[in-house]
Amino acid sequence: MRTSAVNGHAPTRPEPVVIAGTAVDRILLSELPDIVEQMIGGHRRHSTDYQRLPPEVLQNDVRSVSTDAVRYYARWLREGASATPREHDRLAESAARRAEEGLSLEAVLSAYCRGIQGLYLRLTEAADAQDLESVRELGARLFDCLREAVNAVAGGYVDEVRQRAGAEQDAKQVLFSALLNENPPALVDNTVASRYVVLNLALGRHPDELRAGINTAILGRRVAGRLRRTISAATDDQALTSLNARGGIVLVPLEDDFSRQRWADVLAAAERVAGVPVTAVVAVAAPDRIRAAAVQNSDVLDVLRWFERPPGLYGLDDVLVEYQLTRPGPARRRLAATLDPLEHHPELAETLSCYVDNAENRRRTATRLNVHPNTVDYRLRRVSEVVGRDVTEPSGMHHVMAALAARRAEGTSYPGESIRKASGE
């Protein structure tokens, strides 16, 4: 910004730029909401990258930083000042998020240039011949504003790209790979803890994935980034992570006693921030047992999926019976075959599956299937006749539930069951 010094004294504040009788910085602040709305509308109209951003990014993050940027411009115009460290960091951090989401640097810088151009047109629309010098001065000062913004934005964006490019060499990633792959040479280091919390995560779909025209790659990176930042903040940046839009693995050094409630709270917070359902399986393991723990956690996630368990934090103890019943082998195949006769009776298979998934509650099952409870009772009696096991008796139901678990582990499903799941019920 241009200022002048007199006799060695501090630079004086420049005269305000006045157009049509009003200082331009006051116009920016008095019309702030409308100006920001016009900026966001311009992004939507002129930038394919911004068009494909999830709506909540535009309405929350982009709107917030645009509002702050216009406030900064007003101050810079009024005071002839440069960006403060806080203002610089605010713009840089927003640019870093755009880089993380996959937007091009060209798109981000164009958005700022377009915003300054829109301000110039808005502030000069009421100017007349007498305002010529003020219009010229406004143009010069807005160029100064743009330079300040571009310096911050380009710096923040490039820093993020550099960090991402070097992630493969990052010490955390090296340690993560060594622990997960049981690489002894890499583990001879005093940075290795005696125990680790091993978390396997499975993420549900974000609601915006169903919206037409949304760039799901950007959305996925944003979800994974939010999850990573939340877990990192909760662990004092000690977490070792490998996450993507569908889940991943987290390793955290464990110095004190393991608290399941603490991790349930961390994951609940991560779920709220990321905006997707989070299902997690946790175990505690020594460094040389991390790989085995992660493999077992992955198997438990499969069991949770087969049994349609709700999102939340689980351990092996929560599904011991189901886990054991679904281990591969001749016994599992033979147990699964118990229900083969139902393949010719899709309506009965659907009812049995729904009944088991609803904790053997006939009324909830009837509601789910949109039939009368008496119809559920009738179908269950028919299931007993077809498979040769009385599902109205505890011993028969236990056998059938085990067979259903084995069948799901075998990767087979009934026609009726497939229809129910495909419909999203």
Residues 152 and 22 in one domain: yes
Query: Which of 1, 31, 30, 32 is closest to 15 using CA atoms?
Result: 1
Mean pLDDT of successive 10-residue stretches along the chain, which has 425 residues: 44 81 93 94 90 87 93 90 88 91 91 94 92 93 92 92 66 81 60 90 84 81 87 88 89 90 92 89 93 93 85 90 80 85 90 86 90 93 91 85 82 52 40
Q: Is 5 contained in some domain?
A: no
DSSP assignment of 135-155 equals HHHHHHHHHHHHHHHHHHHHH
10 Å Cβ neighbour count for 57? 19
Residues 295, 381 within the same domain: no
For residues 344 and 403, membership in a common domain is answered with yes
End-to-end CA distance of the chain: 61
Number of domains in the chain: 3
pLDDT of residue 406: 82
CB of 312 closer than 8 Å to CB of 345? no
- Alpha-carbon distance of 102 to 221, in angstroms, equals 8
* CATH code, domain carrying 246: 3.30.70.270
**Residue 8 covered by a domain:** no
pLDDT at 396: 85
Mark whether 91 and 222 lie in a shared domain.
Answer: no
Q: Do 298 and 161 lie in a common domain?
A: no
Q: What is the structure's pLDDT at 3?
A: 47
In a domain, 13, yes or no: no
Structure confidence at residue 211 (pLDDT): 80
**Strands of 238-388, DSSP E:** 240-244, 247-253, 278-285, 312-314
Domain assignment present for residue 53? The answer is yes
Q: Is residue 236 part of a domain?
A: yes
Q: What is the pLDDT of residue 223?
A: 86
For the record, the structure tokens of 264 come out as 């349930």
**Does residue 12 lie within any of the structural domains?**
no
The residue type of 387 is V
Q: How far apart are CA 373 and CA 351, in angstroms?
A: 11
Indicate whether 338 and 259 sit together in one domain.
no
Range(s) of the domain holding residue 364: 330-422
Which of 256, 291, 318 is the last residue before a domain boundary?
A: 318
Asked whether residue 381 is domain-assigned, the answer is yes
Domain identity same for 176 and 149: no
Query: Which residues, at least 6 apart from 338, have a Cβ–Cβ distance to it below 8 Å?
Result: 387, 389, 399, 400, 403
Q: Give the CATH number, domain containing residue 52.
A: 1.10.490.10
Residues 69 and 48 in one domain: yes
The long-range contacts involving 131-134, CB below 8 angstroms and separated by at least 24 positions, are 131/18, 131/19, 131/20, 134/17, 134/18, 134/19
Tokens of 367: 């509601």
Hey, which residues does 285 pair with through a beta bridge? 196
Residue (of 241, 209, 105, 203) closest to 160 by Cα position:
105
Q: Which three-class secondary structure state does DSSP give residue 13? A: coil
The verdict on residue 284 lying in a domain is: yes
d(C-alpha 209, C-alpha 215), whole Å: 8
Using the 3D structure, point to which of 165, 182, 198 is the last residue of a domain.
Answer: 165
Asked if 212 and 81 sit in the same domain, the reply is: no
Residue 397: strand, helix, or coil: helix
| Distance from C-alpha of 208 to C-alpha of 221, rounded to nearest angstrom | 13
pLDDT score, position 11: 52
pLDDT (0 to 100) of residue 210: 72
Residue given tokens 């040479």 in the structure block:
185
Q: Domain boundary at 123, 146, 165, which?
A: 165
Which residue type does 54 have? P
**CA angle at residue 218 from 214 to 224, to 5 degrees?**
125
Q: Are 246 and 265 contained in the same domain?
A: yes
> Are residues 145 and 87 part of one domain?
yes
The C-alpha R_g of the chain, in whole angstroms, comes to: 30
CATH number of the CATH domain containing 417: 1.10.10.2840
Cα separation, 20 vs 134, whole angstroms: 10
Q: Does residue 206 share a domain with residue 279? A: yes
